[in-house]
Structure formats: structure tokens, C-alpha cells
Amino acid sequence: MSGGLLVAGTTSDAGKSVVTAGICRWLVRRGVKVAPFKAQNMSLNSFVTREGAEIGRAQAMQAQACRVEPTALMNPVLLKPGSDQSSQVVLMGRPVGELSARGYHGGRQQQLLGTVLDCLAELRGTYDAVICEGAGSPAEINLRRTDIVNMGIARNARPRLPVLVVGDIDRGGVFASFFGTVALLSREDQELVAGFLVNKFRGDVSLLEPGLDMLHGLTGRRTYGVLPFRHGLGIDEEDGMAVSLRGTVRESNVAPPVGEDVLRVAVCALPLMSNFTDVDALAAEPGVVVRFVDRPEELADADLVVVPGTRGTVRALQWLRESGLADVLVRRAADGRPVLGVCGGFQILGERIEDDVESRAGQVDGLGVLPVRVRFAREKTLTRPVGEALGEPVEGYEIHHGVADVTGGETFLDGCRVGAVWGTHWHSSLESDGFRRAFLREVAAAAGRRFVPAPDTSFAALREEQLDRLGDLIEEHADTDALWRLIESGAPQGLPFIPPGAPA
């Protein structure tokens, strides 16, 4: 068997990543050997595979849902935005240059189609089924000519991929979105669109059913399931383009704190913030409240401030100074109040940054609270380090151009610590349970909080529970028999054409 499915969406953030992961987990529980695939991903949340390749964090999460090791084959093209107009292109896990949106869609994207199809074919030759995720909407008619991630991959794959369109009903207008998506596709593309999946539904499904029946009558395509809205799924997010997440609180464990106090964590919502999923392990701890901030006054009651990674270190440093957050961070360091810098955040806390690669700004003064000098190298560091800190084993991954020269302080992972300020390039170190608890005890002591980490929180177990919840959603609320036939046999024959179709 070489089954496959493309999970497309009516819009960005319709739930494609979650639905793909849910289908993968449902299949693997049925004994199917399955792998995820996303031909082209645009995200600042990325991950390093064991062979040292950089891929989208969402595909790493989907691989975990499949219970397989992630590889570069699962996300051959990754675009990492550096501005509204350009992105770093990562091909097969390695950066190959910066391109403007016009340059990428003007020809470079189509040149990558062969690589993408080869990766998909290799996966399909290895696994029983490959569940592919689209990007944005398949009905982006301005980009269809060079598309390699939606209908372009569905039609060029051998055998061709059936397409399931996901719509977020919580946004409203889902029926119009479903109909319009199909009606804007060419006749050849429409032949592969098998049907729909409603996501994030609240309420009584019986009230929705007349609309689903009418949608079937209008399009000749069935709805494969209605997934209910679920709070606290806590899976890795793909979109790193948000300039500010102020007011957003990371959903955390509902269990009460073990000690007498909660611990408040404020994350600076830097421009081009990357790998902000690093704080998910903190949010999973009972009694830890994590929020994103972009105003100085919002740091006043924070017990810990996290300066996260960013695709634009010098730009983020300038933003911190302009917003007044930089002054607060320097005062916090002087007062012995906890600050953690990760990757770009670590570089920002240092004394000096020499950047002729990312921003080409040359030499720039950092905040000067850690004895670190950073020089940006053209070659990107992509590693999966393992070590020890605070008496506990730690593992993580590194994705950065900046090379740090640490000239003082106490050793902390690959970085250093001075007082209550810590800095490291290691992403996901806080997912190591013993280390996370030891770190939070140090933070609580420095902050004067009677907070006690829970003794038995396992982040890996919580992640598995969340993935099982996604699998449950598919198993309980989708027509799994029909979904399996779709994966195994492809789109039904004789699906009607819905005019007007794509413009010439």
C-alpha cells in the first residue's frame, strides 16, 4: 500500500497542522506505518533533526504523532521570514540563501518541485501512508502557477493525492469558504477535492447538519467529520509572524500550584520571534502562568522574564530599546531579578553583537548584562546537544548564526549565568523535567516566591496525552471508515465541476 492524503484549508490557521497530527495519531494506533509531509512551510518555529537538518516545528510534532523520528524529507522547503518582503530559504534542512517573495514565486519555487516530489515519493515508498499538509489555501489563484504545496503537489504526486479541505467554523462563514474554495479551482484540481472537515465547532451538531446536506447538494462532496472545539491542546504552533502577542497567555496545566505561590513568567514578544514554543514546558507546570508582553509596565510583577529567540537579533534589540523594555531588563539584572535569554535573546543580553550576515548592521552594543560577545557566521549552527546543568541532565537543539564568546560568569549549558540572569543558545532545554524543576526552584528563590515545582510533571507524557487527544478527535468525530477509503483509494470518481473554476 502507498496511501496518501493532502489536508488543505480554507485559510491559514484553519487547523491543518492539528488535523494532520490527529489523523497521523489515529492511523498509527490502527497499526499503520505513517509519516507526515509538508512540501513548503513558512514558519519561525523550527526544529533540528538528529542528522542536523532544520525543519518546521509542526512537522516534528506530527512525526511524534506518527511515533517516528523526524527527517528533512518531511519538510524539504522551509521559509524563515526576515521581513515582510524576504525569507531565508532552507532546502533539505540547510539554508541556501535569502529571497524576496517576488523572487521566490517568480521562478525559484517551481524549480524546487522536483525535490519536493522526490521526497514525497521516498516517503511513500517507505511508509504505508503519508499525510500531507497544505499551506494557506489551495484557492490562492495568484500563486497557483508556481504552487508546490497544495494542488500542485496533489496533482503531480504519483499516485495523485486526494484532498480534504478543513474549515474553521469558529471564524464564521465556513460554508461560503468551502464552496468558494472548490469553485475557484480548475476542473483538474477540483477532481481531487474529495470533501470537507469542519473544525472548532461549538454547540449542537444537529443544528449544523442541514447546512452540511445543502453543501453536499451544491458541491457533490461530503463532509468527513465535525471536530468540536477543544481548549488546551497545547501543540506546537507554526506561525511565527506575529509581531506582538501581548495579552496572550499560554494555556497551562489546570492543576493548582504545589506551593503557596504561583510563578509569573513574562515573555518579551520580540519582532520576528522564533521558537517561542520554548516556554510551553514552563506553561505545563502547575502554578506557572506564562504571558507575552510588549510594554515595560507589564514586567513589573513578573518573577521571570524570558527574552526568546528571534530571526532578527539586531532588529529585536532596537525594538527593546525603543519600547523601554531594554531599560527594565537592565534594571532587573542589577537588582538580581530573574531573566532568561534563549538563542537570540541570549545574544541580546550580551555586551556586543557583530552582525554582517543577518542584519548587516556591523558592530552593535548589546544590553551588557552577560559577559558575552557574539559574531554572526555565515554558516548556521544546527546541532542537538546533550549536557548537564544545575545538577540535572539536559538536552536541546541549536539553530543560530551567532557564535558566542563567553568571557566570564558561571557556565550554564553553552552560555553563562551572572547572578539571576541566564543565557543559552539551547532551545527546548526546559523540556528536560529535572532541569526545569531545578531552574524554577532557583527562579522562585531569587524572586522571593514560595513556589514549589510539581515533583511529577513529565512534559513528554503531557505531549503524548495531547497527541492522543488529537487522535481521539478524529476517531470519535470523523467518519474514519470513509477517511481510510480516501487515503487508500484516492478521491472518488465523477466529482462534479463547480463553476466558474479558476480564471485562465
Look at 72-86, 100-114, 133-147, 154-168 and tell me which has the smallest mean pLDDT: 100-114
Given pLDDT bands bounded at 50, 70 and 90, which one contains residue 1? low
| Cα–Cα dist 325/306, whole Å | 12
Given pLDDT bands bounded at 50, 70 and 90, which one contains residue 105? low
| Whole-number pLDDT of residue 244 | 39
Torsion sign across C-alpha atoms 70, 245, 23, 29: positive
| Cα–Cα dist 390/412, whole Å | 8
Amino acid at the residue 428: S
The three grid cell numbers given for residue 479, joined into one nine-digit string: 467518519
∠ CA 415-53-394 to the nearest 5 degrees? 35
∠ CA 490-493-497 to the nearest 5 degrees? 115
Does 159 sit behind a cis peptide bond, omega within 30 degrees of 0 on the bond before it?
Answer: yes
The residues carrying an active-site annotation are 343, 427
CA distances from 96 to 49, 60, 292, 402, 409 (A): 18, 21, 32, 17, 36
Per residue in 22-62, pLDDT (tens digit) is 999 999 999 999 999 999 999 889 999 999 999 999 999 99
Over range 220-241, report the average pLDDT: 77
The three grid cell numbers given for residue 172, joined into one nine-digit string: 464564521
| Whole-number pLDDT of residue 326 | 97
Q: Which helix (H) or strand (E) holds 403?
A: strand 398-406
Given pLDDT bands bounded at 50, 70 and 90, which one contains residue 98? confident
Over range 235-250, report the average pLDDT: 51
Which residue did the predictor score with more confidence, 359 or 468?
Answer: 468
| Cα–Cα dist 423/407, whole Å | 13
| Cα–Cα dist 46/72, whole Å | 12
Per residue in 255-310, pLDDT (tens digit) is 788 889 999 999 999 999 999 889 999 999 999 999 999 999 999 999 999 999 99
| Cα–Cα dist 36/28, whole Å | 12
Torsion sign across C-alpha atoms 182, 185, 187, 192: negative
Contact partners, residue 292, CB within 8 Å, separation at least 6: 244, 245, 246, 247, 248, 249, 250, 266, 267, 268, 269, 276
Compute how many other C-beta atoms are within 10 angstroms of the C-beta atom of residue 187: 11
| Whole-number pLDDT of residue 251 | 59
DSSP 115-166: HHHHHHHHHHHHSSEEEEE--S-TT-TTTGGG-SSSHHHHHHSSSPPPEEEE
